[in-house]
Amino acid sequence: MKQLEKLGFDVTYLPVDHRGFVNVDDLKAAIRPDTILVSVMAVNNEVGSMQPIEAIGDLLEDYPTIHFHVDAVQAIGKGIMDALRHPRVDFITFSGHKFHAPRGTGFIYAKRGRLIDPLMTGGGQENDWRSGTENTPAIAAMAKALRLLLTDEQAHVAQQQAVRERIYNHVSQMPNVTMFSQLTPDFAPHILCFAVEGVRGETTVHAFEQHEIYISTTSACSSKKGTESSTLAAMHIKTNVATSAIRVSLDEANTLEEADAFNAAFDQVYADFQKLTATPAAQ
């Protein structure tokens, strides 16, 4: 979107509510006669909110000239493909490394009759959509990883939900812990975002590293910038809480035993933080 702005396009950014969801009525109000594109995440990568793709698709049935793009990088294999198959969706983008394919791989769904400008031009490969020699081994590996991902998908989703629920139920009971992800059906099964108030997110991340548990501070793409999460800022979370946020990302290989190990590590980390932040007794 920033790139489109540099090219002279007008871009409208829609707000989200306190849970991280776009309001379809806000989208309807923002559509102009010259609107050409609506782009939305299927699943927010920081808190896991699953955006109302079907409701947006229903709305856009009345606007056939608008291109509807869905970023499904965090959504594939998470049991929500039916929403992505809404007939009004024009483009869906996927990234291979999110389902254990080689880094640098990905693929796009494009509805017949919809056109996009290629990122690279030249030799005419991929029907002129992406010129250049294909990385055939990586593409084959991505296809294999996708088949494995979608085999017993519902069982994989249930496993992630169970692991996330066990961690959520334990961590959420602690004082000074704010949960941003929720266990409701409109949140993805594999993302758990919360904050230990008074402790910066990167401090919590490093503390878990001592237990050989590796998590991140909200978006891994910008974790080194030292700023609050853009998603949490949009949710109007106070800065001092947002900068304490961490994200636990799960997949189908995680187990309940690992959830118990995480909870045990959390108890130790939390106790250590409480000692450090405790107010000294008056003399």
Active site residues: 221
Amino acid (one-letter) located at 148:
L
What interhelical angle do 153-171 and 256-277 show, nearest 10? Answer: 30
Q: How many Cβ atoms sit within 10 Å of the Cβ of residue 184?
A: 9
Tell me how crowded residue 239 is: count the other CB atoms within 10 A of its CB: 11
Q: CA-to-CA distance for 211 and 108, rounded, in angstroms?
A: 38
Q: Is the dihedral of CA 39, 43, 45, 49 positive or negative?
A: positive
Q: How far is CA 264 from CA 16, 96, 213, 276, in A?
A: 34, 32, 11, 19
Q: How far apart are CA 206 and CA 271, in angstroms?
A: 15
